[in-house]
Structure 1
């Protein structure tokens, strides 16, 4: 059950991200505040996808440093 919940969360996160980055700027101007904010945004639209590779790099560096610490006599 937890696995299905995690998969559903990942798929919905991907769908919302694709909507915010690709689809929302292509839509005509809207009067809805949340959609207008997505269309006018230039910073967070690109910040969220760039955060993923940086997070992966820091996790790998953390793993490597802990591995060195563990195997150091």
Structure 2
């Protein structure tokens, strides 16, 4: 899953470990989400958004590529 978690985390001045502690997951989970290798639940997505002060659209919105419908 494509996302902008890493960018948002850095803009918020947080390390992976600090974000993980804030939302109650492991650092490894944050790493996997940032790499697009783990699809977080909606609740986890919202927790990330609240922690970095951004919206779901800003972090997780992915435009459909043309012809991929």
The structure with more radius of gyration = 1
TM-score (norm 1): 0.24
Relative to its length, the structure with more helix (as a share) is 1
TM-score normalised by L of structure 2? 0.25
